[in-house]
Amino acid sequence: MSSQVSRAEAWDLLTEWVQSDSLRRHCLAVEASMAAYARRFGADEEAWSVAGLLHDADYERHPDMDDAEAGHPRTIIRHLRERDAPQELVDAIAGHAPFLGVARETQMARTLFAVDELSGFVLACAAVRPEGIHGMTPKSVKKKLKTPAFAAAVSRDDVREGAAELGVDLDEHLSTVIAALEARADELGLHGRSPDPEPA
C-alpha cells in the first residue's frame, strides 16, 4: 500500500535538496498551477501540489539528464519509489520529462507537463513588467512566446502540446496559470518593481 506524501514533507524535501531561490520559486509556481487545476478537475489538491513541488527537486544536485542512473528526474523518482509514494505521483514526475519516454496516462501527469514550462515562462514575463504579474493577459504572454530570444530555454512546442493534451484552449490555459500565480504573488515575488520616488 502506497503512502501519500504530504505537502509539508514535500516542502521539507525540496528545501533540503534545493538551495537555489530561483529553482525553489519555479517549483512553487508549478505547485500553484497544479493546485489550480486540481480544483478545476475536482482532484486531490494536496497530491497535485506535491507533484508540482517535487517535479524538479533533484535538478540542482543531478542536472545531467543524460545520466541514466542519477540524472534528473531519475533521482527523485527513485527516492519516491523507495518511500513507497503513490504510483500516480511517480508517473507524473516521470511523464514531465519527455526524454524518458513515459506516457502521460493520468490527468495529473498531463497537467504537470502542461504547466511546467508555462509556469516558468509566466514567471519570466512577470519579471520584466513594472507591474509584475498584475494585469498580465494571455495576449501579452502569447506575444512573448512568439519572441524566440525571450526565455529561450522554454520549449514553445511543450507549451502548445501541454494545452492540447489537457484539451483546453491555449488562452484558457494561460489564464488559469496566470491567475494561479497571481494568487500567490506575495510568496512568488510577482508584484513588480516599486516606482522610483519623485524627486524632491
| 1 lies in some domain | no
Q: Mean pLDDT, consecutive 10-residue segments, the chain of 200 residues?
A: 85 97 97 98 98 95 71 90 95 89 94 97 97 97 97 95 96 98 96 61
Q: 61 by DSSP, 3-state: which?
A: coil
| 179 lies in some domain | yes
Q: Give the residue from 97, 138, 119 showing the smallest Cα distance to 49.
A: 119
| 170 lies in some domain | yes
Residue 197: its pLDDT value, please? 46
- Its pTM stands at 0.92
Domain count, the chain: 1
Residue 64: its pLDDT value, please? 73
Residue 100: its pLDDT value, please? 84
Residue with cell 520559486: 25
| 194 lies in some domain | no
Domain ranges, residue 101: 7-188
CATH at residue 184? 1.10.3210
Joined grid coordinates for residue 38: 486540481
| 197 lies in some domain | no
